A and B are shown apart, each in its own frame.
Chain A
């Protein structure tokens, strides 16, 4: 029972997440407390979920891209672009009507999906390597975002806009609902239709997939568009949180955190199998790490180093090779287990 549990791809990420949370408990006895304040749930755990929402969203999109052996470096810029477009749209809106809100959301999502389609086009139709293709948007997207905001930080004085990132529904932050909705959508499309199979097969062996009658170009196109979609929503939440749009700094380095979350979650950068739930846990690990570093009072200047060390440990624990080397010496049984991860040819 425990053995099969440990073999699950989710086992180690969950263990790490739990450890990080327990460390918090050690420093702050009230860490796990959740109380009702003004009819809203409040507490550190809720905060982590709320603050981690944009990263979770972007990582969901990134997971599918990485599963096709690709990578999307443009998501950080798309976040800025999304925020810039939405904020500019609602900047002068009057409070009375909700129409500007929906217009802003629709426009932001549309433009960002077009940006995703551009990535998909470069990768699938022109054959540019994903890292190069998306690098273009990484630079250009931020530029366009700044053009949209005319180089200024656009401040929004339209209250409904702040609901996306700051609102509450049924006592929970609204952003959590958004994450759940997008996650369910992704899970449905990849597990209840053949999309997941196609993504994995294209990522694992594109030529064999083509010869099996799968239109790998369209699959690639779709995952990049979906990544754009996820980044758009993440951008809306981030921009709505601060009721402004900053073309220069919004979503900075998000692409790297998202890639990290995907890898921690067990999806290989070599493409193939992907694990959406693993990615969610990966994103939560990163978010709780950030929260922890602030809450237990590690000096800000050592922030990055601490984070790097923890990430290193996480990645090492993830690797079956590393585990069998370290724990294998006194637990011979485990070494055998890791053997079948590597793949055994019987002939």
Chain B
């Protein structure tokens, strides 16, 4: 492989934003027919590097050589024409258009000024077949799951005769089978000679699929390694710049027995088509995990506890009192907080600053007459920016300018400020780096130690096993069992339940 001429070489890339040096002297070399993992923490410069390569940003300094020639990519369209395409972390498709339209958007097949729908639909089906996907391409994209939308995004980039394919966090919203399917596709494309850049926070997946790794840290190039020369622990060390044993030291002393009255007690709660009736108890200072595959109803279960959706049946007791939650506002008044998994759609208010995003829920509690003074807002924002180590440490920055992990921390701050008794965290660690994940999990353990009850939803079983006292397992929109997290057996038990018992 190495004897081949590289398809793409980026050398000495610099990129500066006002006040921030996002990239300095970064290199990246891609060979045809390889999967190249780009690793780094949040803010390491992965996204910036990708955006520089695809022409979203201009390069301040450095050279890009593509198939032996110096190139200057001026725009994403330019990059696509050269054969460099990207599938972004948050799927950027138009859900109100059909699958075909999404695949061909901007590159419709035309004849005499008219769009040839039949041909396009046919091509779309073929493209998706390459991804082992057989769906009705004339239906609206919104009628399909996020996983399928992701595949459509990939199909779109295949439509352009791509030579370099960049996958930015492609697996973050896929379940196990879908990941397998995606990897089959990646391997196929690889064998066809495509150079693939793979950005992911899932180490296992990186080691499963990649050939080589480039590591970035704080906008600087750390090194490039063949996958077999870089054991996981070493990789993590290089990413965060220190040896990491902290991950394993999170595990807290678990409460051996459940005691006292439940803070939150759901009985027979359900919503038609979303989640079957379930019972759940949450005690003071307890962390309960919700495990299950994608689409197993984890989020749906949690939303009922927060009043984000209204339950059809069942009842909910909060500290022993029966309550009906029709709106999130009522749940918040009962000191329940819910940090949504969909940061972009349900979390951040992009146009507002970090400070305003933080105090929003608290101000919502107070109502609009009792305005939290600017001074107090600043104090709160400063405190939590420091506490959660938010970067940039400037509360007046617009939240849309932050990286995913930092946005997530702001969301956490928004809820911690309300000082809840029950904190529901739906995939708080999705799409963020190991350092931030560890910070968030440590924080959870600390908060539960102080008496906060936490409902923790995560697709990564490891995280749940490491932090939770009890684990509720869901399968096919139903809560199937509840397991006390005690020993090495637990993982096996949970996985068996997730997969379907027996």
B346 contacts partner chain A, Cβ-Cβ < 8 Å: yes
Q: Select the stretch in B118-126, B235-243, B401-409, B447-455 that faces chain A.
A: B401-409
Binds B, one of A108-116, A172-180, A208-216: A208-216
Q: Cα distance A344–B47 when bound, in Å? A: 10
A200-239 CB contacts (< 8 Å) to partner B: 200-201, 203-205, 207-215
Contact B329 A213 (CB under 8 A): yes
B20 touches A347 (CB 8 A): no
Residues of B within 8 A of A29 (CB): none
* Number of A residues, CB within 8 Å of B: 32
Q: Chain B residues near A272 (CB, 8 Å)?
A: 350-352
Q: Are B403 and A214 in contact (CB under 8 A)?
A: no
- Near B by CB (< 8 A), chain A positions 14-62 give none
Q: Are B352 and A213 in contact (CB under 8 A)?
A: no
Docked Cα-Cα span, A343 to B405, in Å, equals 16
Which of B247-255, B357-365, B479-487, B489-497 lies at the binding interface? Answer: B357-365
Q: Complex Cα distance A213/B366, Å?
A: 10
Knowing A340-B17, A343-B398 touch, does A209 contact B44 (C-beta < 8 A)? no
**Could you tell me the distance in whole angstroms from the C-beta of A49 to the nearest C-beta in chain B?**
31
Residues of chain B from 10 to 65 with CB closer than 8 A to chain A in the complex: 17-18, 20, 22, 42-48, 51
Nearest chain B CB to A330 CB, angstrom units? 17
Instruction: Decide: A208 and B348 in contact? CB cutoff 8 A.
Output: yes
Q: Contact at A340–B328, with CB atoms within 8 Å?
A: no
B479 to chain A minimum Cβ distance, whole angstroms, is: 23
CA distance A336 to B346 in the complex (A): 31
Given A209-B360, A212-B414: A194 touches B368 (CB 8 Å cut-off): yes
* B17 and A200 form a contact (CB under 8 A): no
**Contact: B368 with A200, CB < 8 Å?**
no
Is there an interface contact between B349 and A194, defined as CB atoms closer than 8 Å?
no
Please name all residues of chain B whose beta carbon is closer than 8 Å to the beta carbon of A273 when the two chains form the complex.
351
**Given A200-B349, A211-B308, A212-B328: A344 in contact with B368 (beta carbons within 8 A):** no
Does A197 belong to the interface (CB within 8 Å)?
A: yes
The reply to whether A212 and B364 contact each other, CB–CB distance below 8 Å, is: yes
B482 to chain A minimum Cβ distance, whole angstroms, is 27
B403 touches A193 (CB 8 A): no
CB neighbours (8 Å) of B403 from chain A are 345-347
Complex Cα spacing A193 to B367, Å? 9
A340 to B308: give the CA distance in the assembly, Å.
34
Can you name the residue of chain B whose Cβ is closest to the Cβ of A272? B351
Cross-chain contact B363 with A197 (CB below 8 angstroms)? yes
B351 cross-chain contacts in A, Cβ below 8 A: 200, 203-204, 271-273
- Contact with A339, one of B18, B327, B365, B366 (Cβ below 8 angstroms): B18
Shortest distance from the beta carbon of A146 to any chain B beta carbon, whole Å? 38
Interface residue A198 (Cβ < 8 Å from any Cβ of B): yes
Which of A203, A207, A215 makes the CB contact (< 8 A) with B346?
A207
Instruction: Pick 26 A–B contacts, CB within 8 A, sort by A.
Output: A192-B371, A194-B363, A194-B366, A195-B368, A198-B364, A198-B368, A200-B356, A201-B356, A201-B360, A204-B352, A208-B345, A211-B308, A213-B332, A213-B333, A214-B360, A215-B329, A273-B351, A344-B22, A345-B403, A346-B20, A346-B47, A346-B48, A346-B402, A346-B403, A347-B46, A347-B403
Measured CB to CB, the residues of A under 8 A from B are 192-195, 197-198, 200-201, 203-205, 207-215, 271-273, 336-337, 339-340, 343-347
Interface residues of B (CB under 8 A from A): 17-18, 20, 22, 42-48, 51, 306, 308, 327-329, 331-333, 338, 340, 345-352, 356, 360-361, 363-372, 392, 398, 400-405, 414
The 7 closest A-B pairs by CB, nearest first: A347-B403, A272-B351, A213-B364, A204-B351, A213-B332, A347-B47, A194-B368
